[in-house]
Structure 1
C-alpha cells in the first residue's frame, strides 16, 4: 500500500493527514472549530482516524482538534501535550478558583506583559527560563500517581451539571477589566482565558468520544510503544505530574511555539518518511536518515522567526519536500523557506498570487514522495 499525505486547506493554521498500511493520523486541525469537519470530509472522504494529535495550544492548531472531536469523527487515540496535565485537574474541578487566580496573575504581571506582543511569545520567554533553571536544579514537582486520577477528574467534570468554563466567570470582574492596561493587555488576558477553556474542552471531548488519551511532554524524544510514529522532541508520560506553576505561566507555556511537539514517521523500504514540525524552532537534538526522502511540514507556516529549524534540518534538505499550510499573511513565508528549491516546496496558499487555496496531496512509495497531478508547486512572491 502506498502511503498518503494530505495538507487539508484549513482557513488558517495546520491540518495534516497521513496514512500507510499500519495507521492513519491527523496532526492539528486549523483555527476553525466549525469548519474542520467539512474540510476533513471534503479532502479525505473518511469518518475514522487511528490517531489525532494536538501539537500545542495555539488556536490555529488546536481549535480544529476540538471541532473534529465534537463532529463525531471516530478516533482510537488522542495525543495531547503533557504540559496540559500540570493544572488540568484544577481546570476540571475548580474552574472558578482557577479563573480568579489567572485574573490575579494577569494584574500582577501586566508590566512584564507590556513588553511582549502575545501570550505565546510570553510562553517562549518562560520556556527558555525554565530550560535554564532545569539545567541547574529539578523543578518543584508533585507526583500525582497514574493517569487514573486524571481520568477520575475527567469523569467527575463530565458528570457535573455546571459546565461553565473559565471564560464564563470573567463577567463578574466587570465588563472591561483590562482597559487600564491597554489593548495589548486585553488581548493577552483574552488569549489566556481562551487557552484555558480550550484545554478543558479538548480533554473532555476526547474523554467523551471514548478515545485513549496519551500525553507527551517536551524533552528528549522516545519511541512510543506499539506505534510507528516517533516523537522527536517529546516522550510519553507514564505518570501524571503537577508542577507548581501559577495559572498565567501555565497557560503561556501551553501556547509556547518553542515547546510545540514534533513527530516523525520514519522511512521504510516501502515508504518515505514524514516530519510534522508544528511551530517548533527545532532547538533540540534529533537524528534523521539523510539518505532517505522526507516530507517536512514547514515550521511555523514558513515564518522566518523559525529560521533555525532549516539549519537543523540541513541533513534532509536535499531530499526533503517542504509543505506549508497557512492563511493569508504578508510576512510569510520567510526567506529561509523561499531559498528551498522551488520544485521541493508547496503551499496550500501562496503569497502574492491570485489563485485559490489548494489541497496538497502526495503519494509515497519506494521511489519517494510524488505530488498528485492537480497540486501546484510554490509560487510565492
Structure 2
C-alpha cells in the first residue's frame, strides 16, 4: 500500500512518499522544511526505526533545505540527491587557490568599477544608446553587492577598491567558509538592512551546503548530484523511485575558478534564480495502484516539466511555491495539462509558508472542472496523510469531506 505524508511544520515543504519499484518498497523524502522537529515528526508518524531510501533537496531555500540536515543526522538514509551547483561550490572550495582567489576578486571589482563609472558618464552626458541587457543588470547588481561585502570586510572603512587589501578578502573568505561572522555595531552602519539580511543569508546558505555534504559523508550516505536543465531529456532509471523532470544526473563537478566560485555563490541568492532552478520530480507513473505525485517545489515550470510528466486521475500535485502570486504561470501550465488529458480528480497539497497567496491558489484550483481538492498544512491540525486504495489516494483520519484549506 502506498503512502504520502505532508508534514505539518512551522514553515516550508517536507513530503514523504512510500511506493513500489519492481515490487520493491521504496521510500522518499522530498525536502525537509525549516528543520524544526522534522525528524521527530518523521519518527512519530512513519516509525522510530524506519529508514529513507532517497532524500531529495530541491533547492537552497531554508524552508526546504534546513530540515535535510536534521533528517541526515538522526534518520538512516541510503541516498541524498542535491543540486549540482552545490557540488561545484563544495569541490571548488576544497581545492581553491587562495592567492588566485584574492587577485581575481580584486580584478573583478576593479573591472566593474570601471563599467559603473562609464555608465554614469554616459548618463550625465545624456547618451541614451548605452543600454544594458538583463544579464548586465544582474552583473551590476552582483558587483554592488560585492562592494558592500568588501566594505564590511574593511571593518566599516570606505577606502575604495584601490585600497583593498588581500588580508581583507582573506577575512571575508574565512568568514564565508566557516560562517563565524559576528555582527558588531559598526558593521550595521556600513550595510543597509537589506544587505545585512542578504549577507546573513549568503553565509547561512554556504553553511547549509557544507553541513549537508559533511553529514552525508560522515554517515556514509551516497550523494547524487542533479544539474538543473529545463529541457533535459527524460530519463527513467530502472530502480529510482523518482523521475527528474528538469534536471539530469552528473558524475563530475565543473572546474570553477575563483571568480566563478564567488559569482556562483552570490547568484544563488537572487531568489528568482533560486526558485527558477528548483528541481522538479515525479513519482513513477507505470504502477496502476499508485497515482503519480508531482513534486513542483518552488518552480515556475518554465521548461518542459509538465509535458514530460504523466498526468492521471487521482494524482497528487504539490502546490508550486506554496501558492505564491509569482507562480501563476506554473498553475496555468498544470491546469492546461489537466484539461487536455481530461483529468477528473486531482489533489493539491500545500506546505505552509508566509507568501502572498494569489487568486490562482485561492480560486483558480477549485474552478478546475471535476473533483479537485486542496489540502494545506497550515489549516490541518496534524500531518496530512494519504494511503493508496483502489488506484486512488485516500486521506487518513479525516472527519470532514470537501476542500480542507481555509487560507485567504
Q: TM-score normalised by the shorter chain: which range applies?
A: 0.7 to 0.9
- What is the CA-CA distance between 1:169 and the residue it aligns to? 4.9
Task: State the superposition RMSD in angstroms.
Answer: 3.5
* SS at structure 2 position matched to 1:77: strand
Give the corresponding residue for 1:253. 268
Give the corresponding residue for 1:345. 374
Tell me if structure 2 keeps the 8 A contact 1:98–1:166.
no
| 1:322 corresponds to which of 348, 352, 359 | 348
Query: Could you tell me how far apart the structure 1 residues matched to 2:11 and 2:281 are?
Result: 21
Tell me if structure 2 keeps the 8 A contact 1:52–1:78.
yes
Does the C-alpha gap of structure 1 residues 25 and 189 become closer, same or farther in structure 2, counting only changes over 3 Å?
same
Structure 1 residue 185 and structure 2 residue 191: aligned?
no
Structure 1 residue 37 and structure 2 residue 39: aligned?
yes
Give the corresponding residue for 1:313. 334
Give the corresponding residue for 1:18. 17
Query: Could you tell me how far apart the structure 2 residues matched to 1:10 and 1:217 are?
Result: 28
Query: Could you tell me how far apart the structure 2 residues matched to 1:98 and 1:166 are?
Result: 16
Query: Could you tell me how far apart the structure 1 residues matched to 2:277 and 2:100 are?
Result: 23
- What is the CA-CA distance between 1:204 and the residue it aligns to? 0.7
Structure 1 residue 293 and structure 2 residue 319: aligned?
no
In the alignment of these two chains, the number of paired residues is 325
- What is the CA-CA distance between 1:26 and the residue it aligns to? 0.3
* SS at structure 2 position matched to 1:56: coil
Give the corresponding residue for 1:119. none
Structure 1 residue 28 and structure 2 residue 55: aligned?
no
* SS at structure 2 position matched to 1:323: strand
- What is the CA-CA distance between 1:370 and the residue it aligns to? 1.4
Query: Could you tell me how far apart the structure 2 residues matched to 1:175 and 1:301 are?
Result: 36
Q: Deviations over 1:251-278 (max 9, x none)?
A: 4327601100011013222211001111
Tell me if structure 1 keeps the 8 A contact 2:58–2:82.
yes
Tell me if structure 1 keeps the 8 A contact 2:292–2:311.
no
Give the corresponding residue for 1:122. none
Does the C-alpha gap of structure 1 residues 316 and 176 become closer, same or farther in structure 2, counting only changes over 3 Å?
farther
Give the corresponding residue for 2:90. 88
Query: What pairs up with 1:220-259 in 2 under 5 angstroms?
Result: 220=232, 221-244=234-257, 245-253=260-268, 256-259=274-277
Q: Deviations over 1:308-357 (max 9, x none)?
A: 11111121374321000114x3723x21112212851100013xxxxx64
Does the C-alpha gap of structure 1 residues 330 and 260 become closer, same or farther in structure 2, counting only changes over 3 Å?
closer
Does the C-alpha gap of structure 1 residues 370 and 247 become closer, same or farther in structure 2, counting only changes over 3 Å?
same
| 1:369 corresponds to which of 393, 402, 406 | 393
Query: What pairs up with 1:1-381 in 2 under 5 angstroms?
Result: 2-21=1-20, 22-32=25-35, 35-46=37-48, 47-71=50-74, 73-92=75-94, 166-171=177-182, 176-177=186-187, 179-219=189-229, 220=232, 221-244=234-257, 245-253=260-268, 256-267=274-285, 268-286=287-305, 287-314=308-335, 315-316=337-338, 318=343, 319-327=345-353, 329=354, 331-332=356-357, 334-338=358-362, 339-341=364-366, 344-350=373-379, 357-374=381-398, 377-381=404-408
- What is the CA-CA distance between 1:366 and the residue it aligns to? 3.8
- What is the CA-CA distance between 1:192 and the residue it aligns to? 0.5
Does the C-alpha gap of structure 1 residues 192 and 103 become closer, same or farther in structure 2, counting only changes over 3 Å?
farther
Query: Could you tell me how far apart the structure 2 residues matched to 1:99 and 1:36 are?
Result: 38
Tell me if structure 1 keeps the 8 A contact 2:202–2:265.
no
Q: Deviations over 1:168-199 (max 9, x none)?
A: 4545x966535323100111111111111110
Query: Could you tell me how far apart the structure 2 residues matched to 1:296 and 1:335 are?
Result: 17
Q: TM-score, normalised by structure 2?
A: 0.70
Unaligned residue ranges in structure 2 (runs of 5+):
117-133, 140-173
* SS at structure 1 position matched to 2:268: helix
Tell me if structure 2 keeps the 8 A contact 1:192–1:248.
no
Tell me if structure 2 keeps the 8 A contact 1:85–1:240.
yes
Query: Could you tell me how far apart the structure 1 residues matched to 2:104 and 2:197 are?
Result: 14
Q: TM-score, normalised by structure 1?
A: 0.75
Q: Looking at CA atoms only, which structure, 1 or 2, has the larger radius of gyration?
A: 2
Does the C-alpha gap of structure 1 residues 40 and 291 become closer, same or farther in structure 2, counting only changes over 3 Å?
closer
* SS at structure 1 position matched to 2:297: coil
Query: Could you tell me how far apart the structure 1 residues matched to 2:394 and 2:103 are?
Result: 51
Tell me if structure 1 keeps the 8 A contact 2:322–2:355.
no
